[in-house]
Amino acid sequence: MRNLFRVLSILCAIVCVCIFSLIYFVEINVPEKLTTVEDSNYNAPELFGFSFFNLSIHNELDVSKNNKESIKQEAEIELFNIIPVKNIQITNTKRKYVVPGGEIFGIKLYTDGIIVVDTDTVDTESGSINPSEIAGLLIGDIIKKIDGVEITSIKQLSGLIEKSQGKEMNFSIVRNGKNINIKFKTYKDVFSGKYKAGLWVRDSTAGLGTVTFYNPENSSFAGLGHPIYDIDTKAIMPMKSGEMAEVKIKGLYKSSNGSVGELCGILTGKKMGDLCINCESGVYGLTSCNKIELLPVAVRYEVKESKAQIICTIDNSGPKYYDVKIIKIYSNSATVNKDMIIQITDKELLSKTGGIVQGMSGSPIIQNGKLVGAITHVFVNDTTQGYAIFAERMYETSVSREMEKYQQLKAS
């Protein structure tokens, strides 16, 4: 009898472990909110090809109609049709279509304020003094105004600092999204005789990226799949304005494990569009597009760990398709631009680039005739692999209220 109880206890423990493992599987693989499209329905997830779960839609939350229709519903995922596992919200909407990109474009970005990238000491008659330490100004702070005057360039900032002649100034800054006012004073340098602030600052940046798609619905484009960061502070650069510029490719440096290569190009000076947004999911702007090919945008549950292709440009012959494989999907990723891992498998591309190089960020990923995502990062220790973002995320930003605001400004 004792042996029987022991066996039953072991069996109960195994069953409990299996049940909790299945619940955990749903928890990490199914997000709180899902978008479905009119030509495709979401089914409860399968594990190892077996269906342990049932999806039960039990409440319609909202039906909203404007130029698009969307229906929001509450659903419950149940284990063996008995045990409730997770409540999710499903939004069913019309299929979205975009024009795939793959072209290289130049980025000219002008900051909203002046970014403090470093501080230094000033050699005064009283010794070395760091004005920023005294004032409480930190690396990464964004100087917006001085004595109520909006600061738009480094030249303007330098002029006001020299003009101050050591008089205390009121700095209006932004730190971690919060507005702060500080008192700042310059000091006279014994060698030059000029008043200095000991500040290293930045008001603009430039670079290359790849267009992910053009949205004919609002004449917008999306690229990079990740934000433009300040190279020194590692923070997202606050953008006041920017340009999408034409680029001529001059060559590339190949990637190798431990060393990431890059596309080399020059900006021709020809403006192709306006940058409007620099955020976690990429850069966005307004432009015109003569291409007419349309592809449906996949929602995240349609993306599979399987073969795919990317469209990218590595020379002046234009965008081409190359083979890749999606080897890992993070359906519930907390990091916006790291939704999946892709691997370059195309022999031609590997021979030319060694894998992913800087400048390929934003390269669209095509699977089963749909735009599923875009390359965002490269793994330094294995340059054949990198992260990618879901196309669904980028599309949502391209039609966001912030983008609508820029459209209205341009139209007015």
Residues classed as catalytic? 226, 346, 361
Rounded alpha-carbon distances, angstroms, from residue 298 to 12, 171, 293: 42, 47, 16
Rounded alpha-carbon distances, angstroms, from residue 353 to 121, 209, 216, 346, 383: 44, 16, 32, 11, 9
Please answer whether residues 389 and 237 qualify as being in contact, where contact means their C-beta atoms are separated by less than 8 angstroms: no
d(CA 275, CA 21): 46
Strands 149-150, 370-375: pairing kind: unpaired
- What angle (nearest 5°) sits at the alpha carbon of residue 109, between those of residues 105 and 113? 170
Element (H, E) at 22: helix 2-29
d(CA 164, CA 191): 18
Q: How many CB atoms lie within 10 A of CB 366?
A: 20
Q: How many CB atoms lie within 10 A of CB 311?
A: 23
Token digits of residue 344: 């370059």
Cα dihedral 311→313→316→318 (10° resolution): 20
- Crossing angle (nearest 10°) for helices 401-411 and 391-398: 40
Measured in whole angstroms, the distance separating CA 226 from the mean position of its chain's CA atoms is: 3
Cβ contacts of 66 within 8 Å, gap of 6 or more: none
Measured in whole angstroms, the distance separating CA 390 from the mean position of its chain's CA atoms is: 10
